[in-house]
């Protein structure tokens, strides 16, 4: 099932049940006045946050949701049953925009809900119209239609740290090595076409799809990359030792962050020099020397070096625990 991180659909709340005209029949007193009950309220439509970043893919071919209608009123002054509310699951971190009325809601925690459309009121039965001057009313009203809304859902991942960098910088392999995730890896660009998550001693790490120059303007994966680091606390900026110009690689990514949002450029950042097993010691030292000009903390790592992975793990945990 393909990953989907934004979706637009139409929702319709349930219509209220109709009020009815009924008459009370009692033993020995056949005509005892009106007893038509009111209709039940139509069901509301909600979005509900769940811990499943792929849940929107279930609704790829569904463009409309409709809640249950309220039941009509009944005899003996009994009100009709309200229609069942409808809950549409969305991933934790979703931004819900009601295009119809302009309201925007963020669902940050599991179980958070957003009301998308309100069910219609039930109609009135003829007992409601009983009065001293109208003892046998034959009036009733139909249920009201439920609200309709056009809804856009956009996922912004919630992670403690995000692995960023050019395509093929070793981000997926590093996520797998650090967290035992099972992200797809391959020796070619854009192996990762969707975010992957992994757990590191209670912290969540996200492998973000690779960035290219011009992503902030929509090139490559564009906003699909940048949007998903908007809520991360720490950026792990991965730069492969295979690069020929380390500073340019670093500055290119930083430029895209700054162009997209001032908030991204201000996030805590660690440079991780990856794939050190692919180059000589001299090359690694040269890369480190150049990258010290950034003024950032720099760690070197190979997914085949257990000591380097342990050092990086400890650094990440210590950093996150003190922020």
Residue 271, classed as helix, strand or coil, is: strand
Which tokens sit at 141?
């009203």
Q: Distance (Å, rounded) from C-alpha 166 to C-alpha 211? A: 5
> Would you state the pLDDT for residue 182?
79
Which tokens sit at 67?
């809640």
In the 8-state DSSP scheme, what is residue 215?
G
Contact between 56 and 64 (Cβ < 8 Å): no
Sign of CA dihedral 119, 125, 130, 133: positive
* Count of residues making up the chain: 323
> Would you state the pLDDT for residue 157?
85
Q: Distance (Å, rounded) from C-alpha 191 to C-alpha 118? A: 43
Q: Distance (Å, rounded) from C-alpha 203 to C-alpha 7? A: 28
Q: Which stretch of DSSP H or E encloses residue 48?
A: strand 45-50
What pLDDT tens digit does each residue of the chain (323 aa) get? Answer: 456 888 999 999 999 999 999 998 877 666 678 999 999 999 999 999 999 888 998 888 899 999 999 999 999 999 999 999 999 999 999 999 999 999 999 999 999 999 999 999 999 999 999 998 898 999 999 999 999 999 999 998 889 999 998 888 888 899 999 998 876 665 544 455 577 889 999 999 988 876 655 544 455 554 566 778 888 999 999 999 998 899 999 999 898 888 888 888 999 999 999 999 999 999 999 999 999 999 999 999 999 999 999 999 999 999 999 87
| Cα dist from 101 to 88, 93, 97, 124, 147, whole Å | 19, 21, 9, 29, 11
CATH 2.70.210.12, the chain: domain bounds: 6-155
CATH 3.40.50.300, the chain: domain bounds: 161-321
Q: Could you tell me which CATH number the domain at 6-155 has?
A: 2.70.210.12
> Would you state the pLDDT for residue 29?
66
Q: Which CATH architecture has domain 161-321?
A: 3-Layer(aba) Sandwich (3.40)
> Would you state the pLDDT for residue 259?
84
Nearby residues of 262 by Cβ (< 8 Å), 6 or more positions away:
none
Name the β-bridge partners of 148: 12
Nearby residues of 93 by Cβ (< 8 Å), 6 or more positions away:
49, 53, 106, 107, 108, 155, 156, 157, 158, 231
Alpha helices in 86-199 (DSSP H): 171-179
Name the β-bridge partners of 240: 274
Residue 114, classed as helix, strand or coil, is: strand
Neighbours of 124 (CB within 10 A): 21
């Amino acid at each position: 099932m393909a990953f989907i991180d934004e979706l637009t659909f139409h929702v319709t709340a349930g219509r209220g049940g109709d009020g009815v005209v009924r008459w009370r029949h009692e033993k020995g007193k056949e005509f005892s006045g009106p007893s038509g009950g009111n209709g039940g309220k139509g069901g509301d439509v909600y979005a509900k946050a769940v811990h499943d970043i792929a849940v929107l893919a279930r609704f790829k071919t569904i463009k409309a949701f409709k809640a249950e209608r309220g039941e009509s009123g009944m005899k003996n002054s009994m009100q009709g049953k309200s229609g069942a509310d409808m809950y549409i699951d969305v991933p934790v971190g979703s931004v819900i925009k009601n295009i119809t009325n302009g309201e925007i809601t963020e669902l940050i925690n599991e179980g958070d809900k957003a009301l998308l459309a309100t069910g219609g009121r039930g109609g009135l039965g003829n007992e409601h119209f009983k009065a001293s001057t109208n003892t046998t009313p034959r009036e009733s009203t139909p249920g009201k239609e439920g609200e309709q809304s056009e809804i856009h859902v956009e996922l912004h991942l919630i992670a403690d740290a995000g692995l960023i960098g050019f395509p093929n910088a070793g981000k997926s392999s590093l996520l797998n090595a650090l967290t035992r995730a099972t992200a797809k890896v391959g020796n070619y660009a854009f192996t990762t076409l969707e975010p992957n998550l992994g757990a590191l001693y209670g912290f969540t790490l996200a492998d973000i799809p690779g960035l290219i120059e011009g992503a902030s303007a929509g090139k490559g994966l564009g906003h699909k990359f940048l949007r998903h680091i908007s809520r991360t606390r720490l950026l792990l900026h991965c730069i492969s030792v295979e690069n020929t110009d380390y500073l340019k690689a670093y500055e290119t990514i930083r430029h895209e962050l700054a162009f997209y949002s001032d908030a991204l450029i201000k996030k805590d950042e660690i440079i991780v020099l990856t794939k050190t097993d692919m180059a000589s010691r001299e090359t690694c030292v040269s890369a480190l020397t150049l990258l010290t000009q950034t003024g950032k903390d720099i760690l070197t790592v190979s997914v085949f070096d257990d000591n380097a992975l342990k050092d990086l793990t400890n650094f990440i945990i210590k950093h996150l625990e003190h922020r």
